[in-house]
Structure 1
């Protein structure tokens, strides 16, 4: 039983069926309106929020939460004649004030599905990543990442900024860390104290240089030094990105052996879709976050027979390196089952993916590394390279990475 249904049930028990029927009718109307708004404007709850967050049948009051202006307008138009006290909480809300923007200032920030370190991890964002701050709850921000993912991150991981403060940050020249792992230092001296750890893809403001070091500034205004041979100016890095199959595969192979980490999108650990997302990010592209979202992007590749089942001969003929393979868990699952896993095709029947660790397996039955393939059902394949799709975006075209 849901919390809202439980409240309604309690009211029915206490006040009798006649009165409860009226309030039950109102609740059902509210539920219908919000459900319709979700279907039209927020079908994926990971990226857009439309929900009833509180319902008090005794007082006939309801609270609705929305991060989608179009959904808010629709709901307002539909509830005008419903006899109830209805509050719509639009996001971002008053808990963040005028600081509706943030920039991650840890090497890797963990975002969770609910507030608290015990909650399930949803995704990660790297140092220098801009996020939208929608709400503050118990010392954590409800934030939206550049991929549109909405989840909770500790306030200690993000520098909250007003619009003008964000613009000032954007105007600063940027540096991107290009070594897998490292650290920034308090002085241009290898023996000096560490300011923080760093991972591939971290972005900092470039202040200047001193000898063999870049002087950098963090989003929270800490100053540090980074060896010049471990970083590039962000503009130069972007010009060196060339989205080819060879480059994507090379980037993927640099992550060989990394541990599987649910929600991970960094070289500290990756889940299956975090792995493919990172391989494309290393080559200058932002792609959707989850496997079930990634399968909706790109150009379909025909790898199934007329009954919708995986056909190895057809797959070997039609797949190209760097295509994405999508799986449902369980060998006996329907081909229409929900996508739960993604891998990057290498060629010759082999693919690389994050499953326990980042590793290479084969779809060929006589291959020594075939074993993992037989435990899953292939349901689709998509091609990203050479495809025009607004879900596949160059980093410099993404509004969260634009520089002034």
Structure 2
């Protein structure tokens, strides 16, 4: 995402506070718990988008507190802290009991929209494509809290996900799959072009293959719906995966297929992309899972020197040191605060040009005499990273991810 406004929600705190009914000691206990949680976050969950430590319930009058977390090591840390302080706290490990034994989900829609809170009106955080596995951590009303293959945690309507237990998922996972390789399309109720649509489809959607039917293939959705897709629009997933060749040329070719797509906050599909969703999708099309947001992507890969001694963009250094498919990072607050937060990312094309999602997916130049020079982006550039060949574990091969393969 371009701005790190996306702070994963703290589940509603049930604070029944009557100032005439609790003592200073009770209030002090609450403050100690909050302070301990903040200390634990700094150590075990510094990025709320991927790891959670939350105060779920606080009843100061009844002296009942509960903390939920995805990190068992944080539970151990806090238990020791509270034992020393004589404070009793209940700990809830995510996934929790609200999901039972269905702790795995597979996306049911062409594109599932994940949000920062369990509400249709909440800010969109990211998207996940049909057929992708997610971890189900929690259920609240009509929403699941899930973790995506890149580790991102957010909320999604239960209707977007097929929940499965381990046995059900293993059966699904063993089935032969196909991946949709056109930009846009649809699945049909019959093997005929004029039959009713089952769902829309986008590049990267994955379905189970039932059988071939002439010019069509019959497929199954994770929730067992059946549909037909023109055979020319899909490829066996294993063949697609083995054919990925993540060279700079291929990554940039994939990026250019998204030229003109609209900017969509939280978007990671050909329906619309934000800046980091665009770079993420460009690498996904070539067999890699990379961190979700720009402020996370800048922490991966090999650092490339493109700044002068004052921290300003140096075009001569950039032209010399950058290679195609490197990532360029920008910060809107550069020059106004120390250590400005990364808010934008682009892919370097070569010869001073870069491609990025800003309004639409477009190409600009960092060279002042170029017709497509972007002065604002050049003034706010703060870093560059090289992913190809870096060996960074944050850059995962799809072929080695249990979210996509057996």
Mark yes or no: TM-score above 0.5. Answer: yes
Specify the SS of the correspondent of 1:80.
helix
Q: 1:4 to 1:85 in 2, by over 3 A?
A: farther
In the alignment, the residues of structure 2 paired with residue 348 and residue 159 of structure 1 have an alpha-carbon distance, to the nearest angstrom, of 46
| Matching residue within 122, 125, 129 for 1:122 | 125
2:64 matched to 1:61? yes
**Worse overlay, 84-93 or 246-255:** 84-93
**Worse overlay, 87-96 or 27-36:** 27-36
2:14 matched to 1:14? no
2:87 matched to 1:88? no
In the alignment, the residues of structure 2 paired with residue 316 and residue 135 of structure 1 have an alpha-carbon distance, to the nearest angstrom, of 48
Per-residue deviation, 1:46: 0.4
2:252 matched to 1:249? yes
| Matching residue within 46, 51, 54 for 1:51 | 54
2:303 matched to 1:297? no
1:221 alignment partner in structure 2: 224
**Worse overlay, 367-376 or 93-102:** 367-376
Q: 1:6 to 1:56 in 2, by over 3 A?
A: closer
| Matching residue within 388, 398, 402 for 1:385 | 388
Per-residue deviation, 1:214: 1.3
In the alignment, the residues of structure 1 paired with residue 14 and residue 144 of structure 2 have an alpha-carbon distance, to the nearest angstrom, of 29
In the alignment, the residues of structure 1 paired with residue 338 and residue 354 of structure 2 have an alpha-carbon distance, to the nearest angstrom, of 20
Q: 1:389 to 1:374 in 2, by over 3 A?
A: closer
Per-residue deviation, 1:203: 0.3
Per-residue deviation, 1:336: 2.4
Q: 1:31 to 1:371 in 2, by over 3 A?
A: same
Per-residue deviation, 1:83: 3.8
Q: 1:65 to 1:279 in 2, by over 3 A?
A: same
Alpha-carbon RMSD across the aligned residues, in angstroms, is: 2.0
Specify the SS of the correspondent of 1:103.
strand
1:323 alignment partner in structure 2: 326
Q: CA contact under 8 A between 1:343 and 1:351: conserved in structure 2? A: yes
2:147 matched to 1:144? yes
Equivalent runs, 1:3-402 vs 2, <5 Å = 10-11=17-18, 13-15=19-21, 19-20=23-24, 22-330=25-333, 332-334=335-337, 336-371=339-374, 373-374=376-377, 376-402=379-405
In the alignment, the residues of structure 1 paired with residue 161 and residue 379 of structure 2 have an alpha-carbon distance, to the nearest angstrom, of 38
Over 3 Å off, 4+ runs: 2-8, 81-85, 330-335, 371-376
Q: 1:376 to 1:99 in 2, by over 3 A?
A: farther
**Worse overlay, 365-374 or 147-156:** 365-374
Per-residue deviation, 1:84: 4.0
Query: TM-score with structure 1 length normalisation?
Result: 0.94
Per-residue deviation, 1:73: 2.0
In the alignment, the residues of structure 2 paired with residue 380 and residue 146 of structure 1 have an alpha-carbon distance, to the nearest angstrom, of 26
Q: CA contact under 8 A between 1:182 and 1:197: conserved in structure 2? A: yes
In the alignment, the residues of structure 1 paired with residue 39 and residue 111 of structure 2 have an alpha-carbon distance, to the nearest angstrom, of 37
Q: Would you say how many aligned residue pairs link Structure 1 and Structure 2?
A: 397
Per-residue deviation, 1:36: 2.3
Structure number with the bigger relative contact order (C-alpha 8 A, sep ≥ 6) is: 2
- String of CA shifts for 1:297-344, please: whole Å, max 9, x gaps: 000000011122211111111111100000001563457200000000
Q: 1:224 to 1:45 in 2, by over 3 A?
A: same
2:3 alignment partner in structure 1: none
Runs (5+) with no aligned partner, structure 2: 1-9
- String of CA shifts for 1:50-76, please: whole Å, max 9, x gaps: 021222221222111111111122222
In the alignment, the residues of structure 2 paired with residue 127 and residue 71 of structure 1 have an alpha-carbon distance, to the nearest angstrom, of 33
Q: 1:163 to 1:372 in 2, by over 3 A?
A: farther
In the alignment, the residues of structure 2 paired with residue 216 and residue 7 of structure 1 have an alpha-carbon distance, to the nearest angstrom, of 49
